[in-house]
C-alpha cells in the first residue's frame, strides 16, 4: 500500500489511546488484581493466588459448576441462532426487490429491529409472548399449545431464540445484500448464456461473492450472542430456574448481586480471553480479505 | 440482481414477522389498562393518550429521557472528536505499532460489558463521577471510540491523497487543512459515525444502569424498575418503549444504505 511511514502520526492517535486506555486498561487491571484475592468484607483482602481460576475450571465446585453450565448454555444458544439466522438471512437477502421504492422500504423495515434499545426488545417480546395480553402467547394457547415462557423451560428457550432471530436476522440479511449488490451484472448474463440453473448461479456466483460478508456476519453474531445479557434478562430474568442464565447474566449475578469480587474477576478474565481469541480470528479474516479487494473502499 | 422464486412472499412474511411485535407494542401503548387486561383486541377500541401524557408530565419519567440523551450526546461528541484525527492517521500513515493498536481497539469494541460493569463501578465511584452522565458517557467510549475510528477510517481512505498534498502545497497548516478541507469532504461519514455512536450508546443498558443510581438514571433503567414493581402498568411500559424507538426510526431513512457498514465496523 502507499502509506507513508510517519511516527508523528502517534500524536493524532494519542487522544483515542488515552480515552480507551482510561476506560479499558485501568478497569482491567483492577480485575486482574481482584482475581488473585479473597475478601471477607471491610475492604480486607487476602492473597488467593490462582485459587479462583482452579475453582472456576473445576465443575465439582459451586463456582465452576455455574460457570461451565452457563458457558454450555451460551454455546448452545449461539450455535442455534447461527444455524437459524445465517440461512434465513441469506434467503431474505436473495428475496430483496430489485429496484424502485420498495428497495428503500424493505431496507428501512429490516433495519428497524436493529435500532431498538435492547431492553425494549426484551419488553416487546415479554409483552408479545404473554398468554394473557400478548398476541403470540394468546394465539398459541388458543391453538391448543400450552405455551408459557415464565414457567416452562422449553418455552423460555424458544422465546429467547425467536427474539434473537427477530432482532438480528436483519443484520445478516443486510450484510449479505451488500455482498450481493457488488456482483456485476455481467456475471449473471454469462450464467444465462451458459444456461445455468438458479441453484448453480447461487453456488457458483452468489455464494463465493458473499464469502467475506458471511464470515463477518457469522463472527459478529457469534460474539454478540456470546455476550448477550439485556434481552434474556428482561424477558426471563435467567429463568425459569437457571435455564436461560447465560455467561453474562451469571457474571453480573456474582459481581453486582453477591459482590463476590474475586470470583467475578476470575470469571471475567476467562470470559474475556475467549472473546479475545474469537476477536483475533475476526481481525485476521477482515484484514486479509481487505487486502485482496482493492476497489470499493471509500464513500459508497 | 438474481433472486429466488417466491421472493415476494418470503419478503412479505419476513417483514410481517418483524413488524407484528412492534405493532403490538404501539397498539398497547394506546389502550387503557382495563382494556389490556380484560379483553384481547387487535386495535385499541377506546384509544387513549393517558400513558403518553403521564410520561410527559411526570418528572420521574421524562427525566429518564433527558438523562439518556445527555450521556448519549456527550459520548457521541467525545467519540467523534477523538476518532477523527486517529482515523486520518490510520488511513494515511504507517507508524510503530499501528496494527497492534487497531487490533486492541477492535478487542475493546468486542469486550463483554458485563466484564466491565464492576470495575467501572469502582473506578467512577473513586473519582467522584458515579451517578453523573459523564460516567456513562466515558464508559460507553470503550465501544464507541473504536467503532467511530473504524467507520471514519473507511471514509477518509475514500478521499484521494492528492487533495491533502495540494492543500499543503497551497500553504494550509495541518489543523486548518483538517477543519476546512477534510471535515467537509467526509461530512456524510461523520454523520454516519455519529449516528452509530448515538445508537449504540442509546441501546446499551447494563453499563448505564450500573453507573447511575438516582440523578442520572437512564430511561432504560426506569423501565426495568416498572417491570419488577407489583401491579404492572402495561400501557405505560409500552408507551415508554415506543418513545425509545422513535430516535432510531426518525433517522433510519437517511442512513439506510449505511446500516450494514456501520454494524460491520466499516468493513463492508
Preceding amide of A56 cis, omega within 30: no
Residue A235: band (very low, low, confident or very high) from pLDDT cuts 50, 70, 90: confident
Q: Is B256 in contact with A104 (Cβ distance < 8 A)?
A: yes
> In the structure, what pLDDT confidence band is assigned to residue A166 with cuts at 50, 70 and 90?
very high
The length of chain B is: 268
**What is the distance in angstroms between the Cα of A281 and the nearest Cα belonging to chain B?**
11
Pair B259, A114: CB distance under 8 Å? yes
Q: Does A125 touch chain B (CB under 8 A)?
A: yes
Question: Nearest CA to CA, how far is B9 from chain A (Å)?
Answer: 9
B40/B132 same-domain check: no
**For residues B8-35, average pLDDT:** 89
- Facing residue for B21 by CB, picked from A108, A110, A124: A124
- Residue B64 in any domain: the answer is yes
Chain center to CA of A52: 27
Lowest mean pLDDT among B50-64, B86-100, B170-184, B213-227: B213-227
Answer yes or no: is B154 within a domain.
yes
Give the Cα separation of A279 and A266 in Å (integer): 20
| Closest CB from B2, B112, B260 relative to A201 | B2
Q: What is the mean pLDDT of chain B?
A: 85
Inform me whether the pLDDT recorded for B2 exceeds 60. no
Task: Give pLDDT tens digits for A187-199.
Answer: 888 888 888 888 8
Question: What is the rounded radius of gyration, in angstroms, for the C-alpha atoms of chain B?
Answer: 22
Q: Residue A114 to residues A23, A107, A162, B141: CA-CA distances in angstroms?
A: 26, 11, 15, 20
Size of the A and B interface in Cβ pairs below 8 Å: 328
- Tell me whether residues B24 and A134 touch, CB distance under 8 A: yes
Is the CB of B259 less than 8 angstroms away from the CB of A111? yes
- Could you tell me if A132 lies within 8 Å of chain B, comparing CB atoms? yes
Domain that holds residue B72: 55-263
pLDDT band at A299 (very low <50, low <70, confident <90, very high): very low
Q: How many domains does chain B have?
A: 2
Binning pLDDT at 50, 70 and 90, where does residue A300 land? very low
Element (H, E) at A101: helix A101-111
Whole-angstrom Cα distance, residue B27 to residue A135? 11
Which residues of chain B neighbour A271 with C-beta distances below 8 Å? Answer: 112, 114-115
Which of B11, B67, B104 is most worth mutating to test chain A (most A CB atoms within 10 A of its CB)? B11
| Residue B268 placed within a domain | no
Flag whether the pTM goes above 0.90: no
Kindly state the average pLDDT of the residues A120-125.
89
CA atoms lying within 13 Å on the CB side of residue A214: 17
pLDDT at A102: 87
Residue holding cell 458517557? Answer: B137
B5 and B96 part of one domain: no
CB contact under 8 A, B82 and A16: yes
In sequence order, what are the residues at sequence separation of 6 or more whose Cβ sits closer than 8 angstroms to the Cβ of residue A206? A94, A180, A183, B2
pLDDT score recorded for residue A298: 39
B63 and B159 housed in the same domain: yes
Question: Do B112 and B148 reside in the same domain of the chain?
Answer: yes
Statement to judge: residues B150 and B249 lie in one domain: yes
| pLDDT at A164 (0 to 100) | 94
B19 found inside a domain:
yes
Check if A126 contacts B (Cβ < 8 Å): yes
Q: Are residues B170 and B222 in the same domain?
A: yes
* A64-113: pLDDT as tens digits: 888 888 899 999 999 999 999 999 999 999 998 887 788 888 988 998 89
Among chain A residues, the shortest Cα distance to B144 is held by: A20
Rounded-to-integer distance, Cα A221 and Cα B12, Å = 24
Distance from CA of A10 to the nearest CA of B (A): 7
User: Which residues of chain A lie closer than 8 angstroms to B85, CB-CB?
Assistant: 12-13, 15-16
Tell whether B12 and B121 lie within a shared domain: no
Instruction: Kindly state whether residues B36 and B122 are assigned to the same domain.
Output: no
Instruction: Give the model's pLDDT for residue A294.
Output: 44
Which of B12, B31, B48 is the last residue in one of the domains? B48
CA of B55 vs chain A CAs: smallest distance (Å): 16
User: What is the average per-residue pLDDT within A101-126?
Assistant: 88
Does the beta carbon of A142 lie under 8 angstroms from any beta carbon of chain B? Answer: no
Please check whether residues B68 and B12 belong to one and the same domain: no
Label residue B22 by pLDDT band (50, 70, 90).
very high
The residue among B15, B33, B48 that closes a domain is B48
- Within this chain, do residues B139 and B203 fall inside the same structural domain, yes or no? yes
pLDDT at B226: 62
> Half-sphere exposure of residue A91, counting CA atoms within 13 Å on the CB side?
17
User: Which chain B positions have a beta carbon within 8 Å of A203's beta carbon?
Assistant: none
Q: How far is CA A277 from CA A68, A224, A280, A284, B38, in A?
A: 18, 14, 5, 11, 52
| Angstrom distance (rounded) from CA B252 to CA A164 | 21
The pLDDT of A217-228, averaged and rounded, is: 87
Kindly indicate the confidence band of residue B225, based on its pLDDT and cuts at 50, 70 and 90.
low
A273 has a chain B CB within 8 A of its CB: no
Report if residue B217 sits inside a domain. yes
Q: Which of A297, A23, A14, A19 is nearest to B86 (CA)?
A: A14
Would you call A87 an interface residue with chain B, using a CB distance cutoff of 8 Å?
Answer: no
Which pLDDT score, from 0 to 100, does residue B3 have?
59
Quick one: pLDDT at residue B82?
94
* Closest in B86, B123, B257 to A16, CB measured: B86
Q: Do the domain assignments include residue B13? A: yes
CATH number reported for the structural domain that contains residue B237 in this entry: 1.10.3720.10
What is the Cβ-side half-sphere exposure of residue B69, based on CA atoms within 13 angstroms? 10
Q: Is A25 on the interface with B (CB under 8 A)?
A: no
Q: Are residues B140 and B40 in the same domain?
A: no
ipTM: 0.83
Sorted by sequence, the CB contacts under 8 Å of residue A227 that are 6+ apart come out as A247, A248, A275, B110, B112, B113, B114
Taking the CB of residue A237, how many other CB atoms lie within 10 A of it?
17
Q: For residue B86, give the nearest of A2, A12, A28 by CB distance.
A: A12
- By CA distance, what is B202's nearest residue in A? A117
Same domain, B203 and B249: yes
Q: Quick count: other Cβ atoms within 10 Å of Cβ A144?
A: 7
CA distance B139 to B137: 5
pLDDT at position B81 is 93
Predicted local confidence at residue A26, as pLDDT: 82
What is the share, in percent, of chain A residues with pLDDT greater than 90?
Answer: 12
Closest chain B C-alpha to A62 CA, distance in angstroms: 20
DSSP letter at B213? S
pLDDT at residue number B15: 93
What percent of chain A stands above pLDDT 70?
92
Q: Write the pLDDT tens digit of every residue in A207-217.
A: 888 887 888 88
d(CA B188, CA A100): 23
Bridge partners, B94 (sequence order): A5
Amino acid at each position: 500500500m502507499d502509506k507513508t511511514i510517519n511516527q508523528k502520526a502517534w500524536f493524532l492517535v494519542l487522544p483515542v489511546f488515552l480515552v480507551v486506555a482510561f476506560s479499558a486498561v485501568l478497569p482491567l487491571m483492577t480485575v486482574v488484581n481482584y482475581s488473585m484475592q479473597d475478601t471477607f468484607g471491610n475492604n480486607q483482602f487476602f492473597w488467593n493466588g490462582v485459587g479462583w481460576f482452579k475453582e472456576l475450571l473445576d465443575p465439582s465446585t459451586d463456582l465452576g459448576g455455574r460457570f461451565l453450565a452457563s458457558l454450555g448454555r451460551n454455546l448452545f444458544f449461539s450455535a442455534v441462532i447461527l444455524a437459524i439466522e445465517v440461512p434465513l438471512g441469506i434467503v431474505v437477502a436473495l428475496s430483496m426487490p430489485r429496484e424502485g421504492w420498495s428497495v428503500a422500504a424493505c431496507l428501512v423495515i429490516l433495519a428497524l429491529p436493529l435500532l431498538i434499545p435492547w431492553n425494549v426488545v426484551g419488553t416487546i417480546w415479554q409483552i408479545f409472548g404473554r398468554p394473557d395480553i400478548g398476541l403470540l402467547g394468546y394465539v398459541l394457547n388458543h391453538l391448543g399449545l400450552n405455551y408459557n415462557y415464565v414457567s416452562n423451560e422449553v418455552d423460555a428457550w424458544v422465546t429467547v431464540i425467536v427474539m434473537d432471530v427477530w432482532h438480528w436476522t436483519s443484520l445478516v440479511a443486510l450484510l449479505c445484500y451488500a455482498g450481493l449488490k457488488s456482483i456485476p451484472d455481467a456475471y449473471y448474463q454469462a450464467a444465462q448464456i451458459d444456461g445455468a440453473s438458479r441453484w448453480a448461479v447461487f453456488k457458483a456466483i452468489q455464494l463465493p461473492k458473499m464469502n467475506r460478508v458471511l464470515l463477518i456476519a457469522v463472527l459478529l453474531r457469534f460474539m454478540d450472542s456470546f455476550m448477550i445479557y439485556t434481552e434474556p434478562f428482561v424477558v426471563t430474568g435467567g429463568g425459569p430456574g437457571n435455564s436461560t442464565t447465560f455467561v453474562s447474566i451469571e457474571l453480573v449475578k456474582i459481581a453486582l448481586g453477591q459482590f463476590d469480587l474475586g470470583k467475578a474477576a476470575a470469571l471475567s478474565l476467562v470470559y474475556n480471553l475467549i472473546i479475545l481469541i474469537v476477536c483475533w480470528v475476526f481481525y485476521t479474516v477482515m484484514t486479509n480479505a481487505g487486502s485482496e479487494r482493492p476497489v470499493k473502499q471509500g464513500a459508497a | 440482481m438474481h433472486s429466488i422464486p417466491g421472493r415476494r412472499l418470503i419478503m412479505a412474511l419476513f417483514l410481517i414477522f418483524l413488524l407484528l411485535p412492534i405493532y403490538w407494542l404501539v397498539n398497547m401503548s394506546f389502550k387503557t389498562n382495563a382494556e389490556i387486561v380484560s379483553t384481547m383486541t387487535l386495535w385499541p377500541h377506546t384509544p387513549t393518550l393517558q400513558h403518553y401524557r403521564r410520561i410527559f408530565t411526570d418528572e420521574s419519567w421524562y427525566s429518564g429521557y433527558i438523562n439518556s440523551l445527555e450521556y448519549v450526546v456527550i459520548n457521541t461528541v467525545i467519540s467523534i472528536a477523538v476518532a477523527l484525527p486517529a482515523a486520518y492517521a490510520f488511513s494515511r500513515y504507517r507508524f510503530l505499532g499501528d496494527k497492534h493498536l487497531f487490533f486492541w481497539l477492535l478487542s475493546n469494541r468486542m469486550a463483554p460489558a458485563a466484564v466491565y460493569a464492576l470495575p467501572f463501578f469502582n473506578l467512577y465511584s473513586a473519582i467522584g463521577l458515579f451517578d453523573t452522565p459523564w460516567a456513562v458517557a466515558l464508559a460507553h467510549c470503550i465501544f464507541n471510540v473504536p467503532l467511530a475510528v473504524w467507520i471514519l477510517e473507511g471514509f477518509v481512505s475514500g478521499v484521494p491523497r492528492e487533495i491533502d498534498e495540494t492543500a499543503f502545497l497551497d500553504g494550509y497548516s495541518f489543523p486548518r487543512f483538517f477543519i476546512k478541507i477534510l471535515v467537509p469532504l467526509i461530512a456524510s461519514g461523520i454523520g454516519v459515525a455519529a449516528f452509530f455512536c448515538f445508537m449504540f450508546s442509546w441501546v446499551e443498558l447494563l453499563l448505564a444502569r450500573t453507573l447511575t443510581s438516582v440523578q442520572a438514571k437512564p430511561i432504560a433503567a426506569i423501565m426495568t424498575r416498572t417491570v419488577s414493581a407489583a401491579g404492572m402498568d402495561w400501557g405505560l411500559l409500552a408507551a415508554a418503549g415506543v418513545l425509545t424507538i422513535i430516535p432510531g426510526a426518525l433517522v433510519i431513512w437517511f442512513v439506510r444504505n449505511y446500516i450494514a457498514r456501520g454494524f460491520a465496523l466499516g468493513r463492508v
